[in-house]
Structure 1
Amino acid sequence: MVRGYSVIACHLPPAEEQDLRQKVLKEREAAAPPEEDRDILLNIPEELNMSEAAGPVETTAVDELEVGPCKESLRDQLAEGQGITVFYQSCWGRTYAHCCSHQEKGWTPLPGVPLECSPCHAFLDSENWLVLCLPYARSLEFVMNDGERGWDKAPGGKNYKVMTPGVFLLTHGHLDPVALPPQEPTGLAAEAMDGSRVRLLWEPPALGDGEAPVKSYRVYRNGRVIGTTETAKCQYEDINLFAFTDYEYSVSALNRQEVAGPLSDAVNVKTKLPGLPSAPRNLRANTRKEDGRLVVQLEWEPPADCGGAPVASYEIIRDGTVIDIFDAARLCSFP
């Protein structure tokens, strides 16, 4: 709330404030030295009693630790230009910021201000991103905690400090200003290679002023994150899909802070006929003795790519000869 304030200097309180005026006169009489003329204030005409007003001056009466909403768009949050926002990735069930905006105002009662699940597309709630949004704060000193014995402090056991308004990212003990997120990739195209694989290709986003270079890309299938590219190369292959199925894809660019830009336009693709599954993974063999005979125990993991249809059975081959067909098993023994 915006308030306007003015200040007027008075020799004595206004005449309508008689009780206060008499109190002031008595206090002056008790404190004044004997040689002072104690009636001087009484002899000042009312029209000369009050000065002109200083001001008015406007100020906003706010609680600097009042929590406000965070925007879904990081660009919109950065454009606010006021207050302090901190994004924090937490593995705790609940996370709090024990903080103060000014030393003379003191610290919050423990455990502090609770962080909220991030609604921002650049810091996904599904990846345990939380946010502390204080729209009226101009500076902040804080430490994160779980409300019990878990604390996250700055290196050396110190407190984290923010001296100017802005949007900040707290990761691995470092508190850094958040850079502008990348823009959206363009020209996304999807091609069904067979019944279980889809190849994605796209063009990199334009690099605008104040934006950090793109480090990698995040890939979404049917609105959910399915992977991240290892480099800034604009391609991705999605595997282990089902045949004759419609899928929707989109991508977003990530900068070196792992900050994601907006999603590209979505594309749709339908997979083709089922194909061969890939080989079972991580085949292991262990030998042991049971009832006086040797037994070989085999273990393996399912194929990385089902070929577009469920894997219902496995052929067990010994020395080039099929000795058994095992249905949907991952642990088996053979004499």
Structure 2
Amino acid sequence: MRMIIPVVNRVTHFVMAIWLAVSITTQIVSADEVSPEMEIRNQIEDVELVIRADRKEISISDQLTLGFTIFTPVGRLVAFPHVGKRLGPFRVVSYNSVRPQAEADHEREEWRQEYLLEADSVGEKNIRSMTITVGEWTSSMSVACRLLIRGVRDQEGECDRSSGDQAYIERPPETMTLKTPPLTFLVTTVLADDADITSPLEIAPPVSLPKVPTPNWFWALCAGAFVSVGLLIWWLLHRKREEMVDSTALGNPAHLAVLAILQKLRQEKISGSAAVDAFYVRLSDVLRRYALWRFGVSAPYQTTEELLATIVSSKGILAEHLSFVGKFFHHCDAVKFAQHEPSDLVRNNFIDEAVSFVTVTADDQVMIPAEEGKFS
């Protein structure tokens, strides 16, 4: 038993050693695989330009990651070219910018602009040379002040002008430009090599659909629906007829009752101021009641001016006869309140005009109880 334990320990150590070796090898291979397939470095004086792409050949369905990195001494400002929705023949899906922090304690500062690109078509795609500007600044100047001088106005509140050389902040900086080399990428198709996209695909012949017989319950349902609709229409017509009969039983049309009253007033013989005043009170009340029944206007409870204002705002049939209504009720008011005594001819003329007004505006559907027609 004592001899078995050391053997087991040795086997365990051997297995662990093999596992560690395999893990290290796998990490090295993985690092080689994720390394960019394209990397271009360019050194100009103390500024270094690094261009990286994760691949030089992509399929039409893949995305390309392209990055531009500038390493500068502390106190420089890098301005990358403005890129909109497209970068050469590629469509810009998104982009990311990395700027150095002012308080970073490094000998060199790293400025990076990275784009995620997609292609619209296959073939060899070229991105033209671009210009990157590097400016010189004082070491005490913050990044916000550097960007503000370059025209980035949203840094106005972040720049502290109290620090650094004020005169240096205001004068234009000395700059240098870097030219990126033209970049070429190959976009491939996802189709097979022998695929022929010009030949039409085979079209299947038309398929005959089986005729499904209409079930008997469907016809029964349609017949029931037609019968129900017919019964509903008959009930509505019968109900309307009953309502008309009930309305007739309630009394007479309003205009007939008013015309009968106006005819009685024409036949009356009046004499004396008191009789004239009482006559015009009844005449005015007849037309005010008619306005209430026919047009829904509260004429019996309004003054003449209030009634005319209501008629003007109503803009209905009654508004078309505003001239007659105003003249008629003003004439009645003059008799009732100003002791005006018109002649029999004038009185009969006003009654005739009232008859014409009621006849023109008559509506057979407006019914009143028989008792209402006897108010005079």
Q: What TM-score, normalized to structure 2?
A: 0.16
**Structure showing greater Rg:** 2
Q: What TM-score, normalized to structure 1?
A: 0.17
More strand by share: 1
More helix by share: 2
